[in-house]
Amino acid sequence: MVGDARLSGRSGNEAGEAIDGKVEVVEVSKHPQATIADTDLSLADIERRRSRPLHWVAYFLGVLVAAIAPYWLGRLLAAHHTAQVVEFFSAFTPQGMAFLSWAATLIAFTCLGMAAVDSKRWLWRILFAFAFAFEQLIAGLSLLNLNFWYVTYVMYGDSSTVANAANLGIIAAGFALAVFAVVWVGLLVVIKKDSPLNVLTRSWVSFILFFVFEVAGLLVVLFGGLLGAV
């Protein structure tokens, strides 16, 4: 009882603690004063305000514009300024144009992946929008569609090989992403969490694997005979 009284008699930042049958004075942290004012907002309301939905609406509208406007502009230039577009294509070899379109698509995919991993930063989302717009412009100039090799020949004649190479670069990047996604999901399903192979599902390893598939897709286009086939 005496020990209880001595324990309860301490105040401030000191308190009594029984150690080996003896009461000793120890320092304790002082509970801080509340600095957040009382509010009627719930946690959901606070998170909703922090999410800034108007910013997201504006961003998605911007991505929609980036998907439509550059492609439409590219097709408009191809139809009404064909000579200038042909002159632009003549500055590239088919391999160079395939690499350019593949790189633009790859940068867009990479920025999108980084935006998913580093979701707190808007930089990657903005870079994705610009890279996506540039890729869509190339797709519009090269008249990308399901039977592009026929349309490009009608529009550009002998210069259609460069336009076809641009389309193949975009398709290669997209196909490589699809194959990577299937393989990555398969690894998530097959590999156990306690398996040493689970390292293959880590974010940095996934990015390396993604780039391996993308480079493989580019090599197939450059050296697989596809540039001469179309």
Structural domain count, the chain: 1
User: Quick one: which H or E segment has residue 27?
Assistant: strand 22-27
Q: What average pLDDT does the segment 83-93 reach?
A: 92
The residue segments making up the domain with residue 188 are 52-229
Within-domain flag for 64:
yes
Q: What is the pTM of this model?
A: 0.75
- Output the furthest CA–CA distance in the chain (Å, rounded): 103
Distance from chain centroid for Cα 74: 25
Dihedrals phi, psi of 215, to nearest 5 degrees: -65, -40
DSSP string, 65-95: HHHHHHHHHHHHHHHH-HHHHHHHHTTS-HH
Within-domain flag for 28:
no
Within-domain flag for 41:
no
∠ CA 215-216-217, nearest 5°, is: 90
Check residue 48 and give its pLDDT.
57
Check residue 155 and give its pLDDT.
92
3-class SS at 22?
strand
3-class SS at 219?
helix
**pLDDT by residue (tens digit) across 2-47?**
444 444 444 455 656 666 666 666 565 555 555 555 555 555 555 5
pLDDT-derived band at 191, boundaries 50, 70, 90: confident
Residue 102 in contact with residue 170, Cβ under 8 Å? yes
Q: How many CB atoms lie under 10 A from the CB of residue 169?
A: 31
**pLDDT by residue (tens digit) across 126-142?**
999 999 999 999 999 99
Q: What average pLDDT does the segment 188-213 reach?
A: 84
Q: Output 27 or 154, whichever has higher pLDDT.
A: 154
3-class SS at 24?
strand
Q: Output 46 or 144, whichever has higher pLDDT.
A: 144
Per-residue tokens: 102: 């593949």
Within-domain flag for 157:
yes
DSSP string, 128-176: HHHHHHHHHHHHHHTT-STTHHHHHHHHHGGGHHHHHHHHHHHHHHHHH
Within-domain flag for 160:
yes
**pLDDT by residue (tens digit) across 63-74?**
999 999 999 999
Q: How many CB atoms lie under 10 A from the CB of residue 218?
A: 20
CA atoms within a 13 Å half-sphere pointing along the CA-CB vector of 81: 12
Within-domain flag for 39:
no
Within-domain flag for 183:
yes
Residue 18's DSSP bridge partners are 23
Within-domain flag for 156:
yes
